[in-house]
């Protein structure tokens, strides 16, 4: 699936995101978005960089990047090993913004 992607927006398809994130992190990420906890520093065709703050939580820096090999990510809470709730929130919020463009 990832080899068919041509931009970051393509990487944010719900089926793909569900395949790389746990259900609980996706649920928590959606809650962060509902609480307006995602602030984009940069959002473009190849990258989404955001500051993500859960209600009452610590602000984390996230980056989602489109590459020829698919989606790459990092978060100040886990590095690159886990698609955490902060990355999930960034993905959900970016999808919403892209859909409005």
Domain ranges in the chain are 2-100
* Cα end-to-end span (Å), the chain: 24
Q: What is the pLDDT of residue 77?
A: 92
Q: Count other C-beta atoms under 10 Å from residue 64's C-beta.
A: 23
Q: What is the pLDDT of residue 7?
A: 84
pLDDT digit string, tens, across residues 5-52: 788 988 898 898 999 999 999 999 999 999 999 999 999 999 999 999
pLDDT digit string, tens, across residues 62-90: 999 998 888 999 999 976 678 999 999 99
Alpha carbons within 13 A on the beta-carbon side of 96:
13
pTM for the full predicted model: 0.92
- Rounded CA-CA distance 35/29 in Å is 10
Instruction: For residue 50, give both structure tokens.
Output: 């955001």
């Amino acid at each position: 699936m990832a080899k068919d992607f041509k931009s970051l927006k393509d990487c944010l398809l719900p089926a793909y995101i569900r395949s790389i994130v746990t259900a609980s992190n996706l649920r928590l990420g959606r809650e962060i978005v509902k609480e307006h906890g995602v602030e984009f520093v940069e959002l473009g065709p190849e990258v989404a960089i955001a500051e993500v703050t859960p209600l009452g939580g610590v602000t984390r820096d996230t980056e989602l990047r489109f590459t020829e090999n698919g989606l790459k990510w990092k978060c100040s809470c886990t590095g690159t090993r886990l698609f955490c709730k902060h990355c999930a929130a960034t993905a959900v919020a970016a999808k919403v913004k892209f859909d409005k463009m």
